[in-house]
Structure 1
């Protein structure tokens, strides 16, 4: 009699222990899922193209040979704001500059990483190939109008890592319309950025 009631007690205690453990596991799982889909959910990094700067601009027209010498260097800065609670790692990239559809400059962007909730500036100097600009059929017309119009684009591919196990690919694309004013050697730019997860 005593041994059967003892078995019954042990069996009831084991069931209670399993029930409590199961409930705690379910509660912890629900809390983790809520945290993951709200606070820890991977978010796209915010990437902002800063206004392009004119680091160097010099144009000389030699008469009467009508020889043109042009020297242009642009400063480009991308600001990446990693809003995640995990790191963002991006691969090597290239910044391209076009003049009326012709590629006139490119500059490499080295890979790097940004810690959780961190911010990072990627800067690059781009020297424009003068002969490609001068050789373009639009150059003389643009020069006489006083404005040289360029476009720049950059695409970065990377990954957002959460808790070292969850990784999500991200690609950011930025583009800028750039106007260089010949007479006063100033620059104006309008930049936009897009991110795809």
Structure 2
């Protein structure tokens, strides 16, 4: 056997510091770009929105008017949670006002509305006789509902929510029927 000489090992070419720096810049730019895209998608798809409150109907089961007015008023309300997370509400209330004075007040019990669900509520006030000056064929009262709570997004972020709705209800003074309401 002949002695063969092994060729010397090939050594890598000397590396340039500029090549490493350029690779780091490209990688950093790519990762920053991907992070920005993911954040835009996250906040676009999972951005918390305020729930919507709608007063769907108002009824007066009883109504009497002399020099004072006494009536019972029932409200039917829907609260819709458009978010991907639960809406937890607390410290919520419903008020009934006439000429800026509070005639009725009710706390809405704390609770949760699941993601993308609608909750149906009903509230009834019995208003005892209060003096009223009737000008015209109708009487107008105001209904205010406020819901305070929070929406959790992906169990990490919490968004504070304070939603209000105000409606004016026109009541016929002759028979106590609801002429209409606007919110």
Give the alignment's TM-score, normalised by structure 2. Answer: 0.74
For structure 2, the residue ranges without an aligned partner over 5 or more in a row are: 1-7, 13-26
What is the match of residue 63 of structure 2? 57
Size of the alignment, in residue pairs? 167
Please show how residues 93-108 of structure 1 align to structure 2 within 5 Å. 93-108=92-107
Cα–Cα, structure 1 residues 174 and 73, in superposed 2: closer, same or farther, change >3 Å? same
Matches of 2:53 and 2:71 in 1, distance apart? 26
Q: Following TM superposition, by how much is the alpha carbon of 1:120 offset from its aligned partner in structure 2, in angstroms?
A: 1.0
Give the alignment's TM-score, normalised by structure 1. Answer: 0.69
Rg: which structure is higher?
A: 2
Q: Is 1:41 equivalent to 2:40 in the alignment?
A: no
Matches of 1:24 and 1:51 in 2, distance apart? 55
For structure 1, the residue ranges without an aligned partner over 5 or more in a row are: 6-20, 62-67, 193-197
Q: Following TM superposition, by how much is the alpha carbon of 1:30 offset from its aligned partner in structure 2, in angstroms?
A: 4.5
Please show how residues 48-197 of structure 1 align to structure 2 within 5 Å. 48-59=54-65, 61=66, 70-130=69-129, 133-134=130-131, 139=132, 141-142=133-134, 145-192=136-183
CA contact (8 A) 1:74 1:127 kept: yes
